Amino acid sequence: MNDASATGGPVPSGRIVVSGPTSSPWLRILAYCSVSAVAVVVILTAVAAVTSGGAGVLSVLFGAAIVVLFFGISLLVGHFVGRKNPSGAIGIFLVTYLVKVVGFAAVLFFYGAPGWLDGTWFFTAAVVTVLLWQGTEVVAFSRTRHQLYNDPQPPKAGVPVADHRDAPEDGKNV
């Protein structure tokens, strides 16, 4: 068993130890999502180059870049917030999701469509990139480990452990 992402690092062979939660999974999820986005962009740009030329290629790159930018921001925010407050990372995702939706709409509304933009390739690249990004994000997130309970910590050396054998059974101190 080897889980380099779990707290404590890789497990030496021959020993099985309790694994901890995945420490700050957001950058790893960002990497997986980015790799899948680049793969789909390479395929789409090749098809767009053959069918629509340079305008199609630029439209694919522009559509995918906006999606990667806005979706990457939330994972980066989750990484930095999750390091200080892991339980608050999900809440900040909701806030950044709202910012992404409003920001994406604002970019499209205020800047409009440049003259060279091929709407079909832009839309295709944006939708395919969003679907692949979200699918990859869900799969990567489902493979992370989350600690649900605070496990008891082992006693430190030199610190006496309370002995409950002498305590009365009714729980009252005598």
Asked if the structure places residue 137 within a domain, the reply is yes
Asked if the structure places residue 162 within a domain, the reply is no
**What b/e sequence results for 83-106 when a residue is b if at least 16 CB atoms lie within 10 Å of its CB, and e otherwise?**
eeebeebeebbeebeeebeeebee
Nearest to 30 by CA among 86, 101, 78: 78
Asked if the structure places residue 44 within a domain, the reply is yes
Asked if the structure places residue 34 within a domain, the reply is yes
**Total number of domains in the chain:** 1
Asked if the structure places residue 161 within a domain, the reply is no
Q: Please enumerate in sequence order all residues whose Cβ is within 8 A of that of 92, keeping only pairs 6 or more positions apart, or say none.
A: 77, 78, 81
State pLDDT tens for residues 26-38.
Answer: 888 899 999 999 9
Q: Which has more confidence, 170 or 68? A: 68
Residue 165 has pLDDT above 60, yes or no: no
Output the average pLDDT for the chain: 78
Q: Where in the sequence is the domain holding 53, given as residue range(s)? A: 26-144
pTM of the model: 0.65
| Residue 26 and residue 79 in contact, taking contact as beta carbons nearer than 8 Å | yes
